[in-house]
Chain A
């Protein structure tokens, strides 16, 4: 019969025992870490359930007559610190994107000669039609501002983060 107390196993005077991990300790470690992972994931899930849907305000941006074809207009949407870029690409075609490059948030600009949106920092190019990445380090498309026309007035109504997603050969 083993008369050694139970704590002897955990607190041994032998240096070698300290480095030795027995099956029970390993199983304990596995169970506890997976339980921790489970709780963490559960927390993320509950948090996403409880998260409120983002509310986008309706905001007048510009009158269509103010901007020439190929012209741009800067505005802030949805908040006062979110710079956006409105481009009139054709007589009837108006698009707007967030001005923050999805790589490192440099301000992008519209290049009329190349017909695309360019980021000067690392030469990231975005399609002006959809906002998808044409080249460079950005991994995600530019968030698109959903516009609505009300007579002559252009209204920003929402942000579409996935506008350029899935559009490969636009």
Chain B
């Protein structure tokens, strides 16, 4: 709407948890961060990756919601569950290919990143992107990302035969068309073999 796009570059993430703390400061969900910093392979690596909602073009979470509680706005932002509708069934938690929705059992409500809708809808940057010291989370114009980064943004993810396109971009090495994920590779049993 304001010409900004969200870019995630896991390569830049230093695992400082600034985004997590900044997110938790937001008034709309005070004390509860909607972003997580995940260790990819903690035994062998210090590599971390921030996990925010990718805002899929065809959001699986909303598709599977039996209560019609998750809505996607015209700006492409997939909103957090509507409190009066959410029945806390966790369908969205299980369905999301990126593992983003969190079930708040005490509130009986699913909560997830809505790209700081109160901020981005008026042209401000999301909390996490404002504090990220290495700009692994960047909320900038496409021109600026093309000028300043060697990596190229992509918003196509390949989960087996399922192709997911998203509003949020992931920075990938030049020449990569899509982020292909073979789920079997990431299963715990696979790591043992």
Q: Which A residues lie at the B interface, using CB under 8 A?
A: 11, 13-16, 18
B73 with A13: CB separation less than 8 A: no
Asked whether B79 is an interface residue with its Cβ less than 8 Å from the other chain, the reply is yes
Contact A13 B74 (CB under 8 A): no
20 of the cross-chain contacts (CB-CB < 8 Å) are: A11-B68, A13-B59, A13-B62, A13-B63, A13-B65, A13-B70, A13-B71, A13-B72, A14-B71, A14-B72, A14-B73, A14-B74, A15-B71, A15-B72, A15-B73, A15-B74, A15-B79, A16-B73, A16-B74, A18-B71
Distance between Cα atoms of A14 and B65 in the complex (Å): 13
| Least distance between A61 CB and chain B CB atoms (Å) | 63
Q: List residues of chain A with CB within 8 A of the CB of B71.
A: 13-15, 18
Contacts of A14 in B (CB 8 A): 71-74
Would you list the 8 A-B pairs with minimal beta carbon distance, nearest first? A13-B62, A15-B71, A15-B73, A11-B68, A13-B72, A16-B74, A14-B72, A13-B63
- Closest chain B residue to A14 by CB distance? B72
CA distance A16 to B62 in the complex (A): 14
In the bound complex, CA of A18 to CA of B70 (Å): 12
With A11-B68, A18-B71 already in contact, 13 other A-B pairs whose C-beta atoms are closer than 8 Å:
A13-B59, A13-B62, A13-B65, A13-B71, A13-B72, A14-B73, A14-B74, A15-B71, A15-B72, A15-B73, A15-B74, A16-B73, A16-B74
Q: Measured between alpha carbons, how far is A15 from B69 in the docked complex, in Å?
A: 10
CB distance from B107 to the nearest CB of A (A): 22
Cβ distance A18 to chain B, nearest Cβ, rounded Å: 7
Which partner residue on chain B sits nearest A16 by CB separation? Answer: B74
Per the bound structure, the CA–CA distance linking A16 and B68 in Å amounts to 13
Complex alpha-carbon distance, A11 and B69, angstroms: 10
- Give chain B nearest CB distance to A23 CB in angstroms: 22
Distance between Cα atoms of A16 and B73 in the complex (Å): 7
Give Cα distance in the complex from A14 to B58, angstroms.
Answer: 10
**How far is the CB of A14 from the nearest CB of chain B, in Å?**
5
